[in-house]
Amino acid sequence: MPGSNPIPDTLFIRFFSLTALLLMLVSQVHPFDIYQTLRVYGTDKSTLDILHNVGIPLDHVRIKKGVFIDVIASSEQLELLEQTGLTFDVLIDDMTRYFLERNIPDVKRDFELGSMLGNYTYSEIEEKMVALASSYPAIVSVKDSIGTSIEGRTIWAFKVSDNPDQNESEPEILYTGLTHAREPLGMMNQFYFVQWLCENYNVDSVAQYLVDERELWFIPVINPDGYVYNESIAPNGGGMHRKNRLDTGCGTNTQRGVDLNRNYGYDWGADNSGSSPNPCSATFRGDSAFSEPETQAVKDFILAHEFSNVLHYHSYSNVLIHSWGDGSLPDEPDLTTLREIGWEMTKFNGYGVGTGNETIGYGVNGDAVDWTYGSAGLISYTPEVGSFQDGFWPSENRVIPLCQDQLYANQVFGLVGGADYILYEADASNVQGDTIHLAITIQNRGLMDSDGNVIIDLQPYGNLGSFIQFDNDIGGLPARSSKEIERTLILPDTVPDGTEVGFIISISDNSSFVRVDTFTVITGSPSLLFIEDAETDLSNWTTTGTWGIVLSNPNTGNHSITDSPAGNYTSNISSSIMLNAPFSFTAVDYPFARFTAKWDIENNWDFVRFQLSTDGSQWTSLEGLYTESGAGQGTQNPGEQGYDWQSDWVEEFVDLSAYTEESQIYFRFILTSDGYLNEDGFYFDDFRILGYPNFLPGDMDGDEQQTIFDVLAIVDLIFSEDELNTYQIMMGDVNFDGQVTIIDALVLVNIILQD
Ligand SMILES: [Zn+2]
């Protein structure tokens, strides 16, 4: 090894300057490692195996099933790939330069950002921990070492809790980040969460509760050497090193090191596809389980505490991954626990929840989550923060939005570390009468048993009615258990149909968060304002593209409506079907749409949206029971609601009560596709608009009286040359036979004469 023998000073200086010169020369040709985004054509198992064998990690990829897979590869990996015979294109030829050049600086800085594309450098992280502990000494601990990295850097942990320097008997929760050195958002969102807790401690009930009744632990950087190395090769951000910095005989660049997320002891090295025995691979698992001081430190720290649950943060892919890494599913009841808590955590950011195999189509072994769950016995996930577009180093103006995306997930994760109650389900029967029977299911969704008995309080929603006397104490609720209770709400006789009634419930035990939730139903039955049963023609609709009626796939009757009656839809299309007549909801309470539908739409790329417009040109995509958030690629705008993948016939429900002020509402379905896979498309049937009309039948001028002027207005309608719109029909149809005729005028005259 050079330098192990004593070298005369002068010689050393000459040697050093020569080396420096050589390094400079080399770095002009080949500065460290350049990483590219490659589009590899083919997604079958053999293609993925080749990619893995070349050393390319498959945990952050974009897949177009059967067509291509987009991966991130170093220049060395690219050279190896060229010899494999796989076909690929280079989409982005230098990721670090790309991350820096595309950056849009963040202008508003409520949350102080760091100097690497908005992310803190390692020393900024240390300063941040010091600053938090000194600004909020009552609730943030001084940072504490949990171990030392290969190169001798401290791995820090700190705690947020009341009495942060004492070990209280409160549920403990752990959040970790920067296992992979190029994934800084896993660290940034922890500081964002901690700052939110500190600033809202006396303001927000959840912040106050989490600080007072939980011990929240943070290890923002598990891999300080890798992170500092990235700073050294890309001081402004964009460094692409992933592993730790153990010398594994692969030079000094990004090939070196152990993949810490393949070095944990559960199922370590189970096969060579979930981790690699090759020391230069991006997924090199190390020489033995826990061979690395960084993973040892995390293991020792977890075993020395009584954690309830652990989040191991990574980025990116917009998913929340749980065990098992090999793709098999955990046994019940854990599977349901992992899914239910995961779904709640991702309620607002829309991340997919599942195993690595289910969410990104790839398995691992020796990862932190499998060890934390399988060996330490704790509920654990890996959130992968951000989309493929965000990548490892998102633009600076995306840092805060991505941190905000994790705020609710971090809150829920903290709450479920102890007992935590929710209104899991409620059903009302007999809503036509004045005695409403309620079946209410309370769940302890948390990971600890109730502290004493669970106490509920029920108040009638809007002070309408009263509950028959009941016991507030529903007994103890073990972790992850539910209890159904039945209650009776008596309404006053004066409540008209179309009134929102129900209850406000609060649920708590001796030390839990006091959960308040609301359940309501609408009394009476809704009126049908429009129906399309697809049995005759499409005269109610205006279409573009090939929308039509098909005999096949009937729901009720013999026909349904589809975008492509002849077979699959085609590439690069935008085709729509719009209801001709606009609706007015100004005289309708709680309007909603229902339709039956089934679809087969290319997952994550093509999209069908059910949309509403108040001017016929600007459209809003509506959320229903079965819509999903757009993936932000192909024809799916990020977060936009729509339908993709596939379903059997379902009964969709879309709440329209936000639009009761609108007097002109258009509806349409629109299908958009990209240039690749085409599927069978979208079918719908029995399209209905319903609601609770709140007008007097025949009150054409809206003065809340039925007069002779209204009769004259109805007669005007009858003799009108124009086709009546739904609103006119609804108002003028006094005898509810679905049309406006002279009989309606006569019925109205009768009503007026009787008054
Ligand atoms: Zn990662």
For residue 494, give the 3-state DSSP assignment.
coil
* 202 burial via Cβ count (<10 Å: 0-12, 13-18, 19+): exposed
User: Both 132 and 163 in a single domain?
Assistant: yes
Give me ligand 1 centre to Cα 186, in Å: 9
User: Both 654 and 506 in a single domain?
Assistant: no
Give me ligand 1 centre to Cα 502, in Å: 46
Q: Which residue has the higher pLDDT, 177 or 747?
A: 177
Give me ligand 1 centre to Cα 405, in Å: 18
Cβ neighbours, 10 Å, residue 551: 9
Length of the chain: 755
* CATH number of the domain encompassing residue 655: 2.60.120.260
Give me ligand 1 centre to Cα 231, in Å: 17
Give me ligand 1 centre to Cα 312, in Å: 9
Give me ligand 1 centre to Cα 750, in Å: 75
Residue 625 one-letter amino acid: L
Structural domain range at position 470: 431-522
Alpha-carbon gap, residue 345 to 339, rounded angstroms: 10
What confidence category does residue 730 fall into, taking pLDDT thresholds of 50, 70 and 90? confident
Give me ligand 1 centre to Cα 314, in Å: 4
Give me ligand 1 centre to Cα 180, in Å: 5
What would the two tokens of residue 349 be?
A: 């950011």
> Where does a domain end: 522, 555, 578?
522
Give me ligand 1 centre to Cα 285, in Å: 14
Give me ligand 1 centre to Cα 59, in Å: 7
Residue 88 near residue 77, CB atoms below 8 Å: no
Q: Which residue has the higher pLDDT, 19 or 303?
A: 303
User: Both 246 and 388 in a single domain?
Assistant: yes
Query: Is residue 32 over pLDDT 80?
Result: no
> Where does a domain end: 357, 380, 415?
415
Cβ neighbours, 10 Å, residue 26: 11
For residue 392, is it within any domain?
yes
User: Both 592 and 723 in a single domain?
Assistant: no
Give me ligand 1 centre to Cα 306, in Å: 25
Query: Is residue 274 over pLDDT 70?
Result: yes
Q: Specify the pLDDT at position 755.
A: 63
Q: Specify the pLDDT at position 3.
A: 37
Q: What is the mean pLDDT of the chain?
A: 91
Cβ neighbours, 10 Å, residue 701: 12
pTM score, whole prediction: 0.85
Q: Which residue has the higher pLDDT, 115 or 1?
A: 115
Give me ligand 1 centre to Cα 72, in Å: 13
Q: Which of 399, 277, 352 is nearest to 63 (CA)?
A: 352
Residue 569 near residue 563, CB atoms below 8 Å: yes
Give me ligand 1 centre to Cα 336, in Å: 25
Query: Is residue 108 over pLDDT 90?
Result: no
Q: What is the pLDDT of residues 293-307, one digit of tens each?
A: 999 999 999 999 999
Work out the average pLDDT over 729-750: 85
Give me ligand 1 centre to Cα 195, in Å: 24
Give me ligand 1 centre to Cα 310, in Å: 16
Q: What is the pLDDT of residues 565-620, one digit of tens each?
A: 999 999 999 999 999 988 888 888 999 999 999 999 998 899 999 999 999 899 99
Give me ligand 1 centre to Cα 726, in Å: 55
Query: Is residue 10 over pLDDT 50?
Result: no
Give me ligand 1 centre to Cα 397, in Å: 22
For residue 140, is it within any domain?
yes
Give me ligand 1 centre to Cα 187, in Å: 12
Element (H, E) at 210: helix 205-213
User: Both 712 and 681 in a single domain?
Assistant: no
Give me ligand 1 centre to Cα 100, in Å: 20
For residue 112, is it within any domain?
no
Query: Is residue 9 over pLDDT 50?
Result: no
Give me ligand 1 centre to Cα 753, in Å: 78
Give me ligand 1 centre to Cα 363, in Å: 13
% of the chain at pLDDT higher than 90: 73
Element (H, E) at 223: none
Query: Is residue 390 over pLDDT 80?
Result: yes
What confidence category does residue 554 fall into, taking pLDDT thresholds of 50, 70 and 90? low
Query: Is residue 14 over pLDDT 60?
Result: no
Query: Is residue 476 over pLDDT 90?
Result: yes
What would the two tokens of residue 442 be?
A: 């309370």
Give me ligand 1 centre to Cα 178, in Å: 8
User: Both 240 and 175 in a single domain?
Assistant: yes
Q: Specify the pLDDT at position 603.
A: 87
> CB pairs under 8 A, 24+ apart, for 49-52?
49/273, 50/81, 50/84, 50/86, 51/81, 51/86, 52/273, 52/276, 52/283
Give me ligand 1 centre to Cα 76, in Å: 20
Give me ligand 1 centre to Cα 67, in Å: 25
Give me ligand 1 centre to Cα 64, in Å: 21
User: Both 265 and 335 in a single domain?
Assistant: yes
User: Both 95 and 168 in a single domain?
Assistant: no
Give me ligand 1 centre to Cα 183, in Å: 6
Give me ligand 1 centre to Cα 673, in Å: 31
Q: Specify the pLDDT at position 668.
A: 98
User: Both 380 and 245 in a single domain?
Assistant: yes
User: Both 212 and 321 in a single domain?
Assistant: yes
For residue 745, is it within any domain?
yes
For residue 703, is it within any domain?
no
Alpha-carbon gap, residue 451 to 190, rounded angstroms: 29
Give me ligand 1 centre to Cα 80, in Å: 23
* CATH number of the domain encompassing residue 448: 2.60.40.2310
Give me ligand 1 centre to Cα 364, in Å: 11
Q: Specify the pLDDT at position 212.
A: 98
Give me ligand 1 centre to Cα 177, in Å: 9
For residue 305, is it within any domain?
yes
Q: Which of 575, 565, 586, 590 is nearest to 691 (CA)?
A: 590
User: Both 219 and 201 in a single domain?
Assistant: yes
Q: Specify the pLDDT at position 754.
A: 74
Give me ligand 1 centre to Cα 349, in Å: 19
* CATH number of the domain encompassing residue 83: 3.30.70.340
Alpha-carbon gap, residue 437 to 490, rounded angstroms: 9
Give me ligand 1 centre to Cα 385, in Å: 10
Cβ neighbours, 10 Å, residue 75: 17
DSSP annotation string for 550-601: ESSS-SSSS-EEES-TTSS--TT-EEEEEESSPB--TTEEEEEEEEEEEEEE
Give me ligand 1 centre to Cα 605, in Å: 24
Give me ligand 1 centre to Cα 243, in Å: 9
Give me ligand 1 centre to Cα 708, in Å: 74
Give me ligand 1 centre to Cα 282, in Å: 11
Give me ligand 1 centre to Cα 315, in Å: 6
What would the two tokens of residue 683 be?
A: 């079918």
> Where does a domain end: 53, 68, 101?
101
Give me ligand 1 centre to Cα 261, in Å: 7
Alpha-carbon gap, residue 183 to 312, rounded angstroms: 12
Q: At CA 405, angle to CA 619 and CA 353, rounded to 5?
A: 90
Domain count, the chain: 5
Give me ligand 1 centre to Cα 393, in Å: 12
Give me ligand 1 centre to Cα 563, in Å: 40
Query: Is residue 242 over pLDDT 90?
Result: yes
Q: Specify the pLDDT at position 433.
A: 76
Cβ neighbours, 10 Å, residue 107: 7
Give me ligand 1 centre to Cα 134, in Å: 31
Give me ligand 1 centre to Cα 297, in Å: 18
Give me ligand 1 centre to Cα 280, in Å: 17
User: Both 503 and 532 in a single domain?
Assistant: no
For residue 110, is it within any domain?
no
For residue 405, is it within any domain?
yes
Give me ligand 1 centre to Cα 637, in Å: 25
Q: Specify the pLDDT at position 7.
A: 42
517-539 core/surface letters (b: 16 or more CB in 10 A; e: else): bebbbbbeebbebbebebeeeee
Give me ligand 1 centre to Cα 179, in Å: 7
